[in-house]
Amino acid sequence: MIFFTGLWTLQFWTALICVLAGYLLGNIQTAIIVSRAYFHDDVRNHGSGNAGSTNMVRVFGYGPGTITFAGDFLKAFLGILAGQLVCGVIGGYLAGLFVVIGHCWPVFAGFRGGKGVASSYSIAIWTFPLGALLAVAVGAAILLFQKKMSLMSLAAILLFFIATLVLRLSDLPLVILAGLLAIIVYVRHIDNIQRLIHGEEQRLRKEGK
């Protein structure tokens, strides 16, 4: 009995380490760092008010937007890697999920972060490459024809979740992770969804063009 209690305690603390590590990594806001370092401004003061790559593109251009996407992508990968080292596959899932939560609601940036898309894509690619590639391919086609990043993001994360249901149903933790990521992304895109419904969503372009 003592042995199993100790084991449960160890699992609890290692899981907590994964959660905290992921959340802290998520608090690294690439958009804020880049906008302040290169433009002496905070991207959240412009456009949609989000600290994400799409708003960076609209406000400062494709270069800063690409750097932002890469940074947000990388931190999710590092979260998964750290989680796996501490607590195996489930630890990677936990850390990755909390990178996205930390990115969307960063305590060190006034809970005003991004929408979690780049980090979610990273998690998708590192946890289920086939499902991620299928989702991104369809999403890219939507972006090519519609030029609406929000529509691409919403479609891709939903397709990734569906892919896990169809192709990886036996991996229940992955299905749950994909479902939670989809919920987070959709919650963060509520305003975009409303604009899409009313035909008011803007196409992707730099602000003023």
Q: DSSP secondary structure string, 172-189? A: HHHHHHHHHHHHHHHHHT
pLDDT bucket at 60, cuts 50 / 70 / 90: very high
For range 185-209, the mean pLDDT: 80
In a domain, 204, yes or no: no
Q: Which domain holds residue 71?
A: 2-197
For range 67-80, the mean pLDDT: 97
CB-CB contact of 45 with 31 (8 Å): no
In a domain, 126, yes or no: yes
Percent of the chain with pLDDT over 70: 92
In a domain, 61, yes or no: yes
In a domain, 175, yes or no: yes
3-state secondary structure of 155: helix
pTM, two decimals, is 0.90
pLDDT tens by residue, 8-58:
576 888 999 999 999 999 999 999 999 999 999 999 999 889 999 999 998
pLDDT bucket at 208, cuts 50 / 70 / 90: very low
Tokens for 194, please give them.
């409303």
In a domain, 208, yes or no: no
Q: Distance between CA atoms of 88 and 183, rounded to whole angstroms?
A: 24
**How many CB atoms are located within 10 Å of the residue 117 CB?**
30
Q: Count how many domains the chain has.
A: 1
pLDDT bucket at 7, cuts 50 / 70 / 90: very low
For range 195-201, the mean pLDDT: 86
What is residue 12's predicted lDDT score, i.e. its pLDDT? 83
